[in-house]
Amino acid sequence: MEDTNNKQDICIMKMAEQIKHIEEKLSQMPTKDEMALVVQEGITRALEICEKKYVTQERIKPLEKIVYGLLGVVLTAIAIAVIGLVIVK
C-alpha cells in the first residue's frame, strides 16, 4: 500500500513541477495588445520599404505620358517611312 502512495506522491510532484513550468511559459507569452503592437510595427516597416522601392500611380503618370508620346512619335515616323517607300517605288 505504501508503494502505491509513494508512486502517487511522485506523480503529484511531477505534475506540480509541470504546472509550474507551464505557468512560467504563460507568464512569458506576450499579451494580445503586445502582439497587436508588434504586427502594427511590422506593417508600418513594410509600407516604408515598399514606398522606397516601388512607385505610386501618381508619381508614374507623367513618365508614362512621356513614354507613350515618344512611342507614338517613333511608330508614326516608321509608318510614314514605310508609306513613303511604297509610294516612291
pLDDT in tens, 56-66: 888 889 999 99
**CB-CB contact of 30 with 38 (8 Å):** yes
Residues 38 and 66 in one domain: no
Residues 69 and 27 in one domain: no
Residues 36 and 50 in one domain: yes
Which pLDDT tens digit goes with each residue over 40-50? Answer: 999 999 999 98
Grid coordinates in use for 35?
502582439
Residues 42 and 68 in one domain: no
Residues 23 and 62 in one domain: no
Residues 50 and 60 in one domain: no
**pLDDT band at residue 3 under the 50/70/90 scheme:** low
Our count of domains for the chain comes to 2
Residues 45 and 35 in one domain: yes
Residues 50 and 31 in one domain: yes
Q: Please give the distance of CA 50 from its chain centroid, rounded to a whole number.
A: 10
Residues 46 and 61 in one domain: no
- Domain of residue 6 covers 1-54
- Each as own residue / partner, the long-range contacts of residues 80-84 (CB below 8 Å, 24 or more positions apart, any chain) are none
Which pLDDT tens digit goes with each residue over 14-23? Answer: 888 888 888 8
Question: Got the DSSP string for 37-89?
Answer: HHHHHHHHHHHHHHHHHS--HHHHHHHHHHHHHHHHHHHHHHHHHHHHHHHH-
Cα 81 to Cα 89: distance, rounded to the nearest angstrom: 12
For the chain, the average pLDDT equals: 88
Residues 28 and 71 in one domain: no
pTM: 0.43
Cα 80 to Cα 88: distance, rounded to the nearest angstrom: 12
